Amino acid sequence: MAISKLEAASPEFWDYATHALKPEKSKDPYYKPAYLNAHVYRALAKRLHEPFYGTVLTGDFFSIKDLATFQSVDHAIRSIPGFAAYDNEKDHNDVKAALSLYGRFLQYMKSQSPALKNDEEAERESPIIDEKPDDAPVVNAPEPKPDPLISSGRKLYIRDPKKAAKALKRAGYQCELDSSHKTFVSRATGKPYVEAHHLIPVNAQDDFSNSLDVMANIVCLCPECHRLLHYGKDIEAPLRTLYEKRKSQLHECGIDITFEKLLSYYLG
């Protein structure tokens, strides 16, 4: 029998999930392998890499092996403005249900106890904060460099979704490379669909003494321009445009960087 995608990604989680009982409200007491691969694997391995989730965490979700790291990431995901509506809209709460199951798995691994908590209890342990961005005026000032979360020997830096939401609102939900770029209306927010992008990638945090997760470093882009910066061939001109717009604000936040250094983060 061919190994399943979820089993290949996390054998321990696969073994747990195929033997775990569903919440009592379910007619089928056990998770089926087909469901785990079609829904749980897709939610954690693929959907969390959609642009909507891109401001929370980069890297392999299954590399998260300790409960404290998971709880921080889980809270950040559930705190994304519009998360409940977005996840409700697609695939019947795939991400929310998958996160709950993975949380129960880590709780089990930590305690080595067969007692399982149901999804509703797990959800209460990860409260959702107010999805509306803070209306307080933006003040550019240095913020302390955050402590990284260590998971499987890798450093992970959690981004604050409220800052991303505020950045989009501050930009008037318009692309900061070209305000004439039109996008569809988001079902989650009722505003033009735009995406938050950290100009200096957060995975470069170790190169800086102050936090990169600040408003000055978060730009608002339409989906096409966002993908351009990540995957495009000719990015020097648009990247320089954003750099010139944000250079002084970054300086006020204690972040100084040359354009050449910024470009190197994108081109390697």
Confidence of residue 26 (pLDDT cuts 50, 70, 90): low
85-103 CB burial, b ≥16 within 10 A, e <16: ebbeeeeebbbbbbbbbbb
Residues above pLDDT 70, as percent of the chain? 81
Q: Minimal CA–CA distance to 161: which of 199, 124, 204, 129?
A: 129
**Average pLDDT of the residues of the chain:** 81
SS3 21: strand
Nearest to 222 by CA among 197, 189, 203, 190: 197
Residue 114: what pLDDT?
32
Is residue 116 pLDDT above 50, yes or no?
Answer: no
pTM to 2 decimal places: 0.57
**pLDDT of res. 117:** 28
> Under 8 Å CB-to-CB from 149, ≥6 apart: which residues?
68, 69, 72, 73, 155, 156, 157, 158
| Cβ-contact 98, 87 below 8 angstroms | no
Q: Where are the domains of the chain?
A: 5-124, 160-267
Tokens 């170790």: give the residue: 206
Which of 201, 262, 202, 205 minimizes the C-alpha distance to 236?
A: 262
Is 10's pLDDT higher than 60?
yes
Residue 243 DSSP label: H
pLDDT band (50, 70, 90) for residue 225: very high
Choose between 227 and 19: higher pLDDT: 227
pLDDT confidence bin for 222, thresholds 50/70/90: very high
The pair of structure tokens assigned to 121 is 């209890």
Those residues whose C-beta lies under 8 Å from the C-beta of residue 45, and which sit 6 or more positions away, are 5, 6, 9, 61, 62
Instruction: Show the 3-state SS of 202-226.
Output: HHHHHHCCECCCCHHHEEEECHHHH
Poorest-confidence range of 4-18, 56-70, 123-137, 162-176? 123-137
| pLDDT score recorded for residue 154 | 62
Asked if residues 160 and 57 have their Cβ atoms less than 8 Å apart, the reply is no
Place 151 in a pLDDT band, splitting at 50, 70 and 90: low
| Residues 120, 115: Cα–Cα separation, whole Å | 15
